Amino acid sequence: MMQTLLVRALLVGVLAVSTAGLARAQEAPIKFGKIDEADLTDKPFVADSAASAVVLCDFGRSRFEYGPRGFVVVFERIRRVKILKKSGYEYATGQVSLYHANGQEEKLTTLKGFTYNLVNGQVVKEKLNSESIFKEEKTTNITIRKFTMPNVRVGSVVEYAYTIGSDFAFNFQDWTFQEDIPIRWSEYRASIPEYFDYRMLMQGYEPLAVQEQTESTGQFSVSYKGETVGSGFNTTRTEGGSEILMPRQTNHRWAMQNVPPLREEPYMTTANDYVARIDFELAGVRMPGQPYQMVAGSWEKIDSELLTDDEFGTQLNRASFLKDQLTPLLAAAGADPAARIAAVHGLVRRSVKYNGQSRLMATTTVRRAFDQKSGSSADVNLLLIAALREAGFAANPLVLSTRSHGRLQPESPMLNRLNYVMAHVALPDGQEVLLDATDELAPYNMVPTRCLNGQGRLVLPEAQKSRWIDLKPKDRLTSYRQVTMALDENGGLRGSVHQEHAGYLALAQREKLRELGEKKYVAELGASHEGWSIPKYTFKGRDELHKPLMLEYEFVSSSEASAPVGTVYLNPLRDFGMDKNPFLHENRRFPVDLGSQLEETVLVNLTLPAGYELAEMPQGLVMELPEKGGRFTYGVQNGPTGIQIVSRLTLSKPVYSAEEYAYLRAFFARLMAKQGEQLVIKKKV
Amino acid sequence: MRFIPAFALTLLFPLATLAGPAPKYAVAELPAALRENAHAVERRHDELLTVKSAARTVETVMRATTILDEAGSRWASELVYYSSLNRISYFRGAVYDASGRQLRQLRTQDIRDISLSDGFSLATDARGRVADLSQPTYPYTVEFEYEVVSDNPLFYSNWKPQPVEQFSVQEATFKVVMPAGLALRFQEQRLPAGTALAQTTVAGQQVYEWRVQNLAALDEEADAPPVSELTPAVYTAPSEFEVQGHAGKLNSWADLSRWTYELNANRATLPPALVAGMQALVAGETNERARIQKVYKFLQANTRYISVQLGLGGWQTFPAADVAAKGYGDCKALTNYCQALLSAAGITAHAALIKAGSDEHDIRTDFPSSQFNHVVLCVPLSQAAKADTVWLECTDQTNPFGYMGGFTGNRHALLLLPEGGRLVPTPRYGAAENCRQRHADVYLDANGNATATLRTLRTGLEYDAVAGLAGLELSEQKKRVGNRLALGNFTLDRVAFRPLPASAPVPGLVETLALTLPGLAPPSGKRVFITPNLLSRLAAPAPAVGERQADIWLDYAFSQLDTVQLHLPASLQPEQLPAPVQLTTPFGTYSSQLLALPNGSLRYIRRLEMPRTRFARAEYPAYLEFRRKVSAADKAQLVLVKTDA
C-alpha cells in the first residue's frame, strides 16, 4: 500500500519492434499550418474552464544528419496552444535556449509561427515576423531567442515550429511531457543510428499512451576532403571523396495524452523530480570500423574519470601548503579523532567562504581557493578533503545531486546528474563521518539540508571499491522547551522559559540570530505572542555549533482584567503549541519530503495563585502514525507543586508517501485540537 | 570641522617601502559608535558626477566598505549597470583584512557579465557586471571603483549615502562638475546640521561638493517611514539635456512634459478601417463615460502587454499602427494606441507619466525631474457637471474600467501636453474604498466541531490582493485562500468568486467559502471555548525596544466590518458574554460587541477603521495602547457551558 506511484524506468530492451515500413506509415500527430477549425471555437474546451491555456499538441523529433563538420543532431518541434483566458497570454511567447562552446554550437535554423483567430466566422491567419524575434546573451555559453506571437486574443490558437541543429551528440534534446497547463497530446520521436548509444530515462507519475520502437535503415552521405600526408619527398596526397553509410536505425516514439498540469506543493525537492519527462545521455559511440568507445555508461568509469580530473581528483592530495597551519591545530585537538576532524573542518570553514554556487568540479585549484578565500561548494569541500588527508585521515569525495538539482538515479550513471561534492571520512574504528564546510554555522558533521536527497556516491582511490552511501541525516529538527509559569488572580501570567533548538533547527535559528542580532531576535519572539513582554534573556551555546542553541528568557503576559476574577480559562500551550496545521491541503499526489526527522517537546509547570484550584483539565492523549511514522503524547497532571503539562511530537520519517498524507493531516488536526484545550481554574469558595 | 582620525595623518605621508602597499581601512581605527547596530560601515564613498555636455555625463564612484558580519555581506559585492546608452569605462576592486592589509585585487576573470533581464520583458538591453569579494572571516573591507559614461543625461545622480538600516557611514562625498553655461539643479534633504555645500569655480567649471561624516546606523522600527525618508540625500537633475539627438529643458514639470510629448508625437496614426471601426463602436452612445468604456473594452480584448526596453525605446513609443498590426506593445505603445482609439471615437485623452509600483512612494513633487517608470491615460470628462476624470491603465487586460488601484493610485502623475503639462493627482483610495466586509454563519455542534459559510466582499485596494484569484484553477484557489485563513485546522468545502458589476464605484470581489472546522471550540469538561472573532484578528503590535526614533507612519487606510452569526446546539449556553468595546482615537476607531438573539444564536459585530496618517514619535505609546486594546478585544473568548439536557 505504501508503494510509490512513481514510474521511473530505464528504457532498455525491445518493447514493440515492428518493421521499418510500418514506422514510415506512422503519421505525424500535427501538421504545421493546418489547424482544426473547431479548436477556434469554445466547444472542445468546456471541460477546461479552470485552465488559462491548453497545449493542443507538442510534437518533437530528433534525428541525425551528416554535415561538413560531422554528425549533427537535428531537433524539430511543432507546438500548438489554445489561449483560453487573458492570464494565458504568456503561452503566446516562446523561447529557445541555445548552447555553444569551443566553436561548436546549437543553431536555430528555422523558426516560424502563426496566430489563428476566428473573425466573423472566418479563420484569420497571421504570421510571426522575424523582427519580433529577440536575442539575449544569457551566459557565455547560452544564448536565448525569444519571440511572441501577433494578435493574440482569448480564443486564439497559436502555433510555432522551429529546428535546432546541434554539433553536440552528447546534448541530445530531452523531452518534457507535462507543464503547468493541461496538454492534450505530447509526443517525442527519436531516430538513433547504431553508431550512437544513448541511455534513456523516463520519470513521472503519468502513463504513456504510446511507447513504440521500430527498426529501419538510415542513409548518410559522408564526404571527406583530400589530405596531404608525410613531408618533403615522401609527401603523398590522399584523395577526397564520399561514401554512403547505411546504419541500422532505431526509431523511438513516446506519447502522452491528456496530461494534467503539474503544480508546486510544499515539502517537494524540486518539481523536476515529479514532472513526466524523458532524458537522454550518450553512453557510447560505435563508428563503422572502429571499436565501441564508451562515453559514459558506468559509475565505475565516472569514478575513475573524476579521480584523474584536474578539477577534481588531482586536487585531493594538494594540501601540503596547509601543514604549518594544521600542525598546531591538531596538536591542540589532542588524540580524539572527532576533535581532530573538527579542527581541520574549522580551519577550512574559516579560510574559504562559500559563494552560494553548488558545483561538482572545482573552479580553481584548492591552493588558489584558499588564497582567494572564497569559492564554490566544490572548491570548499575538495579543499576540506585535501586538508583532512593532510591531517592523516582517510578522507574521500562523496558526490551527489542536491535537492533543487533533482533526485539521483543510481541506475543511470550520468555525470551531469551530479552537482555537488561532500567529504567522507572512514575512521579506524569503522565509523563513517560525512562533512561539509560550506556553512559558517553548521557543526562539522551536519549534512546540509540541500544534500538530503537519496544517495550519494563515495568515490574511493581504488575506483572499484567506490560505493553508494545513504544521505540520511544524523541530525533532526529538534526543539525542547521547559516553561515554568505562574498565574495571577487577574488571569495574567509570568514565567521563565528554557528553550533548546538542536540539529537543523539550531542551524536555522543560528542563521536567524546572525541576521537579526540578539535584541531583534527576542523582540520578534515577543511579537509573536500577543501581549508579551520579555524583560530578561540570555543566549547560550551560540558558538558551540555541535551543541543546541539555548535561550533562557522571562516573560510577562498581563491580563486585561484589572481586578481578581472568579474563573480563569487558560490554554497553557497557547504560546507554545502549533498554530497552523502544516498540511492544509486536502490531498496530495507526491510524497511529503521533510528531509529530516522532527522532535518537539514542551513541558509546562504552572502554579496557581493562592486560593485558586483546578476545576477542569483536558484528558491525556497518545496517538501514533501508521508504521511507527510518528507519535504525539499529551498529558496533564495536577501535583502538589503545580500542574504539569507535557506535549511531545515525534515525526520519525524524513519522507512520507502520498498515501500517508491523509494520516499526517488528520494527525496534526488532532494534535492541534488537543493543544488548544483549556484548563478551568476557579477561586475556592 | 573635518574629522581626521590619527591614522589618516600617517597616510598623508606614505612610506615608500618595498613591503607592499600601506594598510588601508584598518578596522581598529573605526569609532565604536559606528559599529553600534551596524552590519557594515561605509568607510569612504566618493561619488563624482562630471557633466561633459547636455548629452553626456560621467559617473565615477569609489567606495570602501567594512563588512562587520555575515548580514552585511551583501556589501561585499558590486553590480554596475550598463546598456546601449551607458557604458562602463573601468571596474576595479580590492579586499583588505581587518588590519588593513590588502588580501587581493579583483581580476578580470572575477568579474561576471550578466543579463539584467527582468523576467517579463521580451527584450531588454540592460546588463550588468558583477564582482563578489566576500571573505570567510569578519570584519574585512572591500573597495570598488568604477566609472560609467552615459548618453542618457535625463538622469543625474541621486546621492543617498545611507540607503538602508544597520549601515553606518564614516565619510561620504558627492561632487558634481558642471561645464560652463550649464546649470545644475539640486535638492538637499535632511543634511546633518553643519553640512554645507561647497561651491567653487575651477577653470570655468562650476564644482559643487557635499560631505557627510560619522552617520550612526539606524534601526528598523515598526510603522515608520521608509529609511529613504529618514537619511540625508541630495537629488540632482539637469536643466538642459539631450538624448539621442532629442534636446530638452528641465526647469519645470512643464518642460519635462513638453519634451516627452514631442518625443512621442505623430505616432498616433491608425489604419482607416480601425478609425471607422471606433466610430461605429461608439455610434449612438450618448453617455460620455460609456463611450470611453466601450473603447477601453476593445483595447483590453485586442491587445496585451509585452515589454521591449531597448535604447531610446525606453522613452519613445512604437507607432499606434504597429500595435494595431501586432496586437501588443509596452506601456507607452498601448497608452499611445488607446489615446489614438479614443481620438478616433471623438474623445480627447492625455498620456500621463507616473511612478508605478505597489509600494512606491509618491514622487518628489517639488523637484521637477525624471522620476517616472510608467505611463497611463487620463481622460477628462467634458460633459460632466463638475470636473471629472477617467483614468485608464492600458497594460492590463483585466483591470476594471477607470481603476488605478495600488499600482498607480494615491499619487501624482505628469500630464503630457504640447504646451507643457502639470502634475495631477490620481484617484485616492481611502478607508471607505479599501473595505473588507465579511459575514459568517458558524454552526457549532455539542463537541466543539463546526461548519461555517463565509461571504467576504473586498473593494478598493483590498480587492487588488485577490483580483487574480477568480481566474485560477480550483486547487490553486483553495491553496491560496487556505494559506491566508487565520485558522489552525480546516477543510475548504467550497470556494467561489463573483466580481462586483462594472457599475460599482470601486471594483470589488465577493468570495464565498464553505468550511469544515474540526475542533474549533475545544471542550474542557463541561465547557467549550470559542473566539467569536473568527478571522479578523489585528496582530498585536511589536513591543517597543528602546526609545522610539521615527515618526509613526500609517500609509494604508482601510476599514473592516465583520458580522459572525453563531448558531449553537441546544445543549450549549453562553456562560458569560465578553463586554462590548468601543475605541475612538486619532489612530483609528474600533468597536466590537456580542449580542444574544431571541432565537438562541449569538451575533458578533466588529468594526475597525484605520486612516492614512502620520504622527510624531511622542505619540507612539498612545498608538501602542490603541493597538494593544484592539488586539485584546479581538481575541476575547466566549465560554459556553453544556446544559444537562
pLDDT digits (tens, 9 = 90+) for A630-675: 999 999 999 888 999 999 999 999 899 989 999 999 999 999 989 9
The per-residue pLDDT of chain B, averaged, comes to: 91
Closest in B115, B308, B492 to A137, CB measured: B115
- Comparing A169-183, B19-33, B179-193, B558-572, the range with the smallest average pLDDT is B19-33
pLDDT-derived band at A17, boundaries 50, 70, 90: very low
- Is residue A543 located within the same domain as residue A623? yes
List the CATH number of the domain containing A564: 2.60.120.1130
- Is residue A662 located within the same domain as residue A625? yes
8 Å CB contact of B542 and A526: yes
Closest in B136, B328, B483 to A350, CB measured: B136
pLDDT digits (tens, 9 = 90+) for B200-228: 999 999 999 999 999 999 988 889 999 98
- Which one of A636-640, B451-455, B622-626 scores highest in mean pLDDT? B451-455
- Name the DSSP class of B578: P
Q: B470 versus A91: which is more confidently predicted? A: A91
Strands A532-540, A549-557: pairing is antiparallel
- Is residue A285 located within the same domain as residue A310? no
- Is residue A499 located within the same domain as residue A398? no
Question: Is B1 among the domain residues?
Answer: no
pLDDT digits (tens, 9 = 90+) for B500-545: 998 888 999 999 999 999 889 888 778 888 999 999 988 888 776 6
Chain B residue with Cα closest to A368: B104
Q: Nine-digit cell at B342?
A: 479614443
pLDDT-derived band at B470, boundaries 50, 70, 90: confident
- Is residue B412 located within the same domain as residue B479? no
Question: Is B286 among the domain residues?
Answer: yes
Question: Is A616 among the domain residues?
Answer: yes
List the CATH number of the domain containing B268: 3.10.620.30
State the nearest Cα–Cα gap between A355 and chain B, in angstroms.
8
Residue B119 pLDDT = 65
Q: Could you report the predicted ipTM of this complex, rounded to two decimals?
A: 0.83
The stretch A427-452 carries a mean pLDDT of 93
User: At residue A324, does pLDDT exceed 50?
Assistant: yes
Question: Is A236 among the domain residues?
Answer: no
State the nearest Cα–Cα gap between B508 and chain A, in angstroms.
19
- Is residue B134 located within the same domain as residue B238? yes
pLDDT digits (tens, 9 = 90+) for A524-565: 898 888 778 899 999 999 999 989 999 999 999 888 777 888
Structural domain count of chain B: 3
Among candidate residues A470, A502, A536, the one where a domain is terminated: A470
CA distance B151 to B149: 7
Tell me the residue range of the domain where A503 lies.
477-683
Interface test with B, best of A115, A138, A149, A151 (most B CBs within 10 A): A151
The per-residue pLDDT of chain A, averaged, comes to: 89
- Is residue B216 located within the same domain as residue B113? yes
Q: Nine-digit cell at B208?
A: 559643487
CA distance B145 to B91: 6
- Is residue A432 located within the same domain as residue A540? no
8 Å CB contact of B524 and A93: no
- Among B356, B263, B354, which residue's Cα sits nearest to residue B313? B263
- Is residue B258 located within the same domain as residue B342? yes
Question: Is A3 among the domain residues?
Answer: no
Which residues of chain B have a CB within 8 Å of the CB of A526? Answer: 542-543
- Comparing A70-79, A289-298, B329-338, B512-521, the range with the smallest average pLDDT is A289-298
- Is residue B572 located within the same domain as residue B449? yes
Residue B566 pLDDT = 96
pLDDT digits (tens, 9 = 90+) for A455-480: 999 999 988 899 999 998 888 999 99
State the nearest Cα–Cα gap between B20 and chain A, in angstroms.
17
Residue B545 pLDDT = 67
Between vectors from CA B259 to CA B256 and to CA B260, what angle results, nearest 5°?
85
Question: Is B19 among the domain residues?
Answer: yes
The stretch B160-169 carries a mean pLDDT of 96
CA distance A354 to A372: 11
Question: Is B606 among the domain residues?
Answer: yes
- Among B468, B494, B458, B302, which residue's Cα sits nearest to residue A52? B468
Residue A516 pLDDT = 85
Question: Is B483 among the domain residues?
Answer: yes
A-B interface: how many C-beta pairs under 8 angstroms?
167
Interface test with B, best of A512, A678, A681, A682 (most B CBs within 10 A): A678
List the CATH number of the domain containing A95: 2.60.40.3140
pLDDT digits (tens, 9 = 90+) for B267-323: 999 999 999 999 999 999 999 999 999 999 999 999 999 988 776 767 889 999 999
List the CATH number of the domain containing B457: 2.60.120.1130
pLDDT-derived band at A238, boundaries 50, 70, 90: low
Task: Give the predicted TM-score (pTM) of the model.
Answer: 0.87
Residue B8 pLDDT = 35
pLDDT-derived band at A523, boundaries 50, 70, 90: confident
Task: Assess whether the previous peptide bond of B272 is cis (omega < 30° from 0).
Answer: no
Q: Nine-digit cell at B537?
A: 484578528
- Is residue B476 located within the same domain as residue B519? yes
8 Å CB contact of B524 and A52: no
Q: Nine-digit cell at A28?
A: 505525424
Tell me the residue range of the domain where B612 lies.
435-642
Among candidate residues B390, B425, B460, the one where a domain is terminated: B425
Residue A33 pLDDT = 93
State the nearest Cα–Cα gap between A331 and chain B, in angstroms.
23
CA distance B63 to B59: 13
Which residues of chain A have a CB within 8 Å of the CB of B142? Answer: none
- Is residue B297 located within the same domain as residue B415? yes
Helix ranges (DSSP H) in B109-224: none
Residues B612, B554 contacting (CB under 8 angstroms): yes
Question: Is B430 among the domain residues?
Answer: no
8 Å CB contact of A527 and B473: no
pLDDT digits (tens, 9 = 90+) for A197-224: 998 989 888 999 999 999 999 999 887 7
- Comparing A2-6, B426-430, B447-451, the range with the smallest average pLDDT is A2-6
State the nearest Cα–Cα gap between A636 and chain B, in angstroms.
12
With cell 479614443, the residue in question is: B342
Residue A233 pLDDT = 66
Among candidate residues B212, B243, B274, the one where a domain is terminated: B243
Question: Is A230 among the domain residues?
Answer: no
Q: Nine-digit cell at A118?
A: 476566428
8 Å CB contact of A616 and B527: yes
CA-to-CA separations, A123 to A34, A115, A467, in angstroms, rounded: 11, 10, 62
Chain A residue with Cα closest to B298: A153
Residue A232 pLDDT = 66
- Is residue A481 located within the same domain as residue A581? yes
Residue A253's region, left for phi above 0, alpha for psi from -120 to 50, else beta, is: beta
- Is residue A317 located within the same domain as residue A272? no
8 Å CB contact of A136 and B123: yes
Among candidate residues A444, A470, A496, the one where a domain is terminated: A470
- Among A517, A440, A442, A495, which residue's Cα sits nearest to residue A473? A442
Which residues of chain B have a CB within 8 Å of the CB of A50? Answer: 472-474
State the nearest Cα–Cα gap between A31 and chain B, in angstroms.
24
- Is residue A114 located within the same domain as residue A136? yes
Question: Is A192 among the domain residues?
Answer: yes
pLDDT digits (tens, 9 = 90+) for A248-293: 999 999 999 999 998 777 788 888 888 999 999 888 899 888 888 8
- Is residue B316 located within the same domain as residue B276? yes
- Is residue B367 located within the same domain as residue B468? no
Question: Is B248 among the domain residues?
Answer: no
8 Å CB contact of A86 and B540: no
Burial A289-300 (b: 16+ CB within 10 A, else e): eeeeeebbbebe
Residue B123 pLDDT = 79
Structural domain count of chain A: 3
User: At residue A15, does pLDDT exceed 50?
Assistant: no
Strand partners, B523: B528
CA distance A40 to A80: 12
- Is residue A555 located within the same domain as residue A425? no
pLDDT-derived band at A14, boundaries 50, 70, 90: very low
Which residues of chain B have a CB within 8 Å of the CB of A51? Answer: 473
Question: Is B266 among the domain residues?
Answer: yes
CA-to-CA separations, B368 to A99, A153, A320, B189, B314, in angstroms, rounded: 47, 40, 64, 15, 19
Q: What percent of chain B has pLDDT over 90?
A: 74
Question: Is A235 among the domain residues?
Answer: no
CA distance A617 to A635: 10
List the CATH number of the domain containing B20: 2.60.40.3140
Among candidate residues A470, A499, A520, the one where a domain is terminated: A470
With cell 612610506, the residue in question is: B15
Interface test with A, best of B524, B583, B628, B641 (most A CBs within 10 A): B524
Residues B601, B567 contacting (CB under 8 angstroms): yes
State the nearest Cα–Cα gap between B409 and chain A, in angstroms.
23
- Is residue B228 located within the same domain as residue B343? no
Sheet hosting strand B233-238, strand order edge to edge: B158-159, B233-238, B184-189
Interface test with B, best of A351, A353, A367, A383 (most B CBs within 10 A): A353
State the nearest Cα–Cα gap between A92 and chain B, in angstroms.
10
Question: Is A233 among the domain residues?
Answer: no
- Among A354, A365, A360, which residue's Cα sits nearest to residue A320? A365
- Is residue B330 located within the same domain as residue B459? no
Residue B12 pLDDT = 36
CA-to-CA separations, B145 to B63, B89, B152, B213, in angstroms, rounded: 7, 11, 21, 20
Backbone angles phi, psi at A40, to 5 degrees: -85, -5
Chain B residue with Cα closest to A346: B136
Residues B168, B227 contacting (CB under 8 angstroms): no
- Is residue A527 located within the same domain as residue A542? yes
pLDDT digits (tens, 9 = 90+) for B111-155: 999 888 766 677 788 899 999 999 999 999 999 999 999 999 999
User: At residue B51, does pLDDT exceed 90?
Assistant: yes
How many Cα atoms within 13 Å fall on the side-chain side of residue A90? 8
- Among B461, B453, B442, B378, which residue's Cα sits nearest to residue B413? B378
Residue A270 pLDDT = 83
8 Å CB contact of A263 and B635: no
Chain B residue with Cα closest to A680: B524
Interface test with A, best of B165, B328, B628 (most A CBs within 10 A): B328
Among candidate residues B185, B215, B243, the one where a domain is terminated: B243
- Is residue B75 located within the same domain as residue B218? yes
CA distance A44 to A1: 37
**DSSP, residue by residue, B262-288:** HHTTT-----HHHHHHHHHHHTT---H
- Is residue A177 located within the same domain as residue A325? no
- Is residue A510 located within the same domain as residue A373? no
Residue B415's region, left for phi above 0, alpha for psi from -120 to 50, else beta, is: beta
pLDDT digits (tens, 9 = 90+) for A223-232: 777 666 666 6
